[in-house]
Amino acid sequence: MPVESYLAICWNCLGEFDALNAVWCSDDPKNPTKLCPFCFRCFCEATEKYKQEFWRRAPSKLLEDLQTLNKSKDRLGDVLIRMKKLTTPQLLEVLEVQKVSGKRLGEILVEKKLVKVEDPDPVLRQGRQQLITPARVLVAHHRSDPADDGPKSFGRCQAIDAALDHVALDLLL
């Protein structure tokens, strides 16, 4: 019979709450904790003794979820959580789908409409730039070349930029 709840005492406010059904924090995507519904604090800052005891008594479902998050090798999920574009429960759900389907994380995020392919967010742009730095350098050089013939050349650079972004996003996803 599966465990329906896991009562824990908050390290901060000492309120008793159901940790199994509490919201995951998003402070550390690889090692998240649970949020107390009374004081809205996670136990990332709790003592090591509190953390060890919490996880020692935790039901298997909670430990399995934590293990899934710990095993994730995908940096995209970590970055999206840190930038508040994705929550830990959303990442956990996507990782569970990934286990079964074998699809890439980005592909699942787009399918679930958690991320848009055309998202102009700087986080995704940063990931794209890291994938295609040499091409970006060429485009940047072309833009700064004094021999450029103005707007027509700049327009070509924008088109190159858009094409590179699309290719990089395909690689990311």
**How far is 19 from 23, CA to CA, in rounded Å?**
8
Q: Are 35 and 42 in contact (CB under 8 A)?
A: yes
Q: Is residue 107 very low, low, confident or very high in pLDDT (cuts 50, 70, 90)?
A: confident
Write the pLDDT tens digit of every residue in 149-167: 444 444 444 444 444 444 4
Least confident residue range of 6-20, 46-60, 67-81, 127-141:
127-141
The more confidently predicted of residues 90 and 84 is: 90
Write the pLDDT tens digit of every residue in 18-75: 999 998 888 887 788 999 999 999 999 999 999 999 999 999 999 998 888 877 666 7
